[in-house]
Homo-oligomer: A and B are copies of this chain.
Amino acid sequence: MDVMSAPAIQRNDNCFVLALALLSGRAMIRALSHMALIVQKYGGTSVGNPERIKNVARRVLESQRAGNQIIVVVSAMSGVTDSLLKLAAEVSEHPTEREMDVLLATGEQTTIALTAMAINQLGGSASSLTGAQAGISTDGVHTKARIANITPDAVHRLLDDGNIVIIAGFQGQTSDGRITTLGRGGSDLTAIAMAAAVKADLCQIFTDVDGVYTCDPRVVKVAQKIETISYDEMLEMASSGSKVMQSRSVEFAKKFGVRFEVRNSMNTNPGTLVKEEENGMESVVVRGVSIERNQAKVTIDDVPDLPGVAAKVFDAITKANIVVDMIVQNVSWDSETDISFTLSAADLPKAEAALKPLVSGLGDKVELRTQSGIAKLSIVGIGMRSHSGVASKMFTALANAGINIQMISTSEIKTAVIVNESEIENAARVVHTAFGLDA
């Protein structure tokens, strides 16, 4: 298992003395003893039943016995959160958010206790901490709190006493002692934030896939696991539908420079390392191909090309709580223009309801047109910035396959196109091949 051979502290021998001087006392001890401090996060599926918890316990112990200090962050067992939500719905139509957090926090608390027990049963020494006990302070926005700061004193004390520390993901407490939860992707965020707070050498996000792939292997059979990916690429892959992790956790990791590895809790395959951009990473032009299905597009045709029209449109959309993805407005050659945007197909009825009154007020010629049954294909790579011809290579591959492009949107490290949903799999395969990503 490569966890065992995880480097204690990456260092350049010439800078060793200086580096030591800059290290905290604890980090210095780790550096001198070649001991690494590793944060491991296991999701709901990985701890989904007692057998799987015992499997996690074995993995954690192996990592410790290889000479490392281990902090484990766990989610609620899969299904538990849904059961709790169902209970809440049975006592209240609109459960108070403060109380929802008290309720949901029991899910992870159950897992930390069981995981610690399982490790202790195997002869290890593990102690559990709730989010509050682990020193995770958040703002007061119940059910989607943001981490304000972490005071990991209790974590350090337990580590110093030789314990494996098991921390409840997804939760924290406000400065006045209320229990909060972090919302979607909260357990990943706990792991990454805790790794930053304790200056961990490595953060491992264990999930039910082997890592991040060049494309969804169910679509592109020759897709390869990516060994290393930059935060920005990971963010674009995530927001383009390869939902291994929520963007939020990746953004946090980028901000605090936490390198983390996404890997599979059910096997010992090496995963994907996500880290800051480095020289050499640009030599790969396209890191991966990402697919997002079930999209819809809305076009407002023949809009008067006047200031403030786009603002009105997206103000109405925002008020309807709809998240918009691509927005395209073409240069206008006369007094009218077209505005198009894409959104999740599920939100289309809400968007139509929000826009109809607005459109009828913009003039007789203005028309609202919608289409579902479309999908988005994106290519992502920081190498794109320094390579010309990336977009044309993509468009050519699609043209050769007879696939029509309906919309185009680009960012510095991403090129995205909208195609018919029926053609998305073929589109992914030909683009994957065109950029030399096939295994």
Q: Identify the stretch in A5-13, A82-90, A208-216, A369-377 within 8 Å (CB) of chain B at 4 or more residues.
A: A82-90
Q: Is the CB of B128 within 8 A of A99?
A: yes
How many Å lie between the Cα of A226 and that of B109 in the bound state?
42
CB distance from A131 to the nearest CB of B (A): 13
Q: Interface size bucket, A side?
A: 35 or more
Residues of B within 8 A of A109 (CB): 102-103, 105-106, 109
Q: Is the CB of A106 within 8 A of B110?
A: yes
Residues of B within 8 A of A105 (CB): 109
How many Å lie between the Cα of A128 and that of B114 in the bound state?
25
Q: Identify the stretch in A115-123, A234-242, A334-342, A418-426 within 8 Å (CB) of chain B at 4 or more residues.
A: A115-123
How many Å lie between the Cα of A428 and that of B54 in the bound state?
53
Interface positions, chain A 9-48, Cβ under 8 Å from B, are none
- Does A94 interact with chain B (Cβ within 8 Å)? yes
How many Å lie between the Cα of A100 and that of B120 in the bound state?
12
How many Å lie between the Cα of A84 and that of B91 in the bound state?
22
CB distance from A168 to the nearest CB of B (A): 9
Residues of B within 8 A of A199 (CB): none
CB distance from A60 to the nearest CB of B (A): 13
Q: Is the CB of A99 within 8 A of B87?
A: no
CB distance from A273 to the nearest CB of B (A): 31
Interface core residue of A53, A112, A114, A127 (most chain B CB under 10 Å) = A114
CB distance from A109 to the nearest CB of B (A): 5
Q: Is the CB of A113 within 8 A of B100?
A: yes
Residues of B within 8 A of A116 (CB): 96, 98-99, 102
CB distance from A181 to the nearest CB of B (A): 12
Q: Is the CB of B92 within 8 A of A103?
A: no
- Does A154 interact with chain B (Cβ within 8 Å)? yes
- Does A217 interact with chain B (Cβ within 8 Å)? no
How many Å lie between the Cα of A286 and that of B339 in the bound state?
90
How many Å lie between the Cα of A210 and that of B100 in the bound state?
33
Q: This chain: how many copies in the complex?
A: 2
How many Å lie between the Cα of A116 and that of B115 in the bound state?
29
How many Å lie between the Cα of A48 and that of B110 in the bound state?
19
Interface code A65-102, partner B: CB below 8 Å = 1, 0 otherwise? 00000000000000000001001101111111011101
Q: Is the CB of A98 within 8 A of B127?
A: yes
How many Å lie between the Cα of A92 and that of B120 in the bound state?
8
- List the B residue with the shortest CB-CB distance to A166: B99
CB distance from A249 to the nearest CB of B (A): 25
Q: Given A177-B133, A177-B154, verify A112-B102 contact (CB < 8 Å).
A: yes
- Does A50 interact with chain B (Cβ within 8 Å)? yes
CB distance from A28 to the nearest CB of B (A): 27
Residues of B within 8 A of A115 (CB): 91
- List the B residue with the shortest CB-CB distance to A57: B91
How many Å lie between the Cα of A370 and that of B299 in the bound state?
92
Residues of B within 8 A of A100 (CB): 113, 117
How many Å lie between the Cα of A113 and that of B110 in the bound state?
16
Q: Is the CB of B114 within 8 A of A87?
A: yes
Interface core residue of A105, A109, A112, A127 (most chain B CB under 10 Å) = A109
Q: A98-B128, A109-B109 are in contact. List 16 more A-B contacts (CB 8 A).
A: A50-B91, A88-B114, A91-B115, A92-B121, A96-B117, A98-B116, A99-B116, A99-B117, A99-B127, A100-B117, A102-B109, A102-B116, A103-B114, A103-B117, A106-B109, A133-B179
A-B pairs, top 5 by smallest CB distance, nearest first, are A103-B113, A50-B90, A92-B121, A106-B106, A102-B113
25 contacts between A and B (CB under 8 A): A53-B91, A84-B110, A87-B114, A88-B114, A88-B117, A91-B115, A91-B117, A91-B121, A92-B121, A95-B117, A95-B120, A96-B117, A98-B116, A99-B112, A99-B114, A99-B120, A102-B109, A102-B113, A102-B130, A103-B113, A103-B114, A106-B106, A106-B110, A109-B109, A133-B177
Q: Which residues of A contact B (CB under 8 A)?
A: 50, 53-54, 57, 84, 87-88, 90-96, 98-100, 102-103, 105-106, 109-110, 112-118, 120-121, 126-128, 130, 133, 154, 177, 179
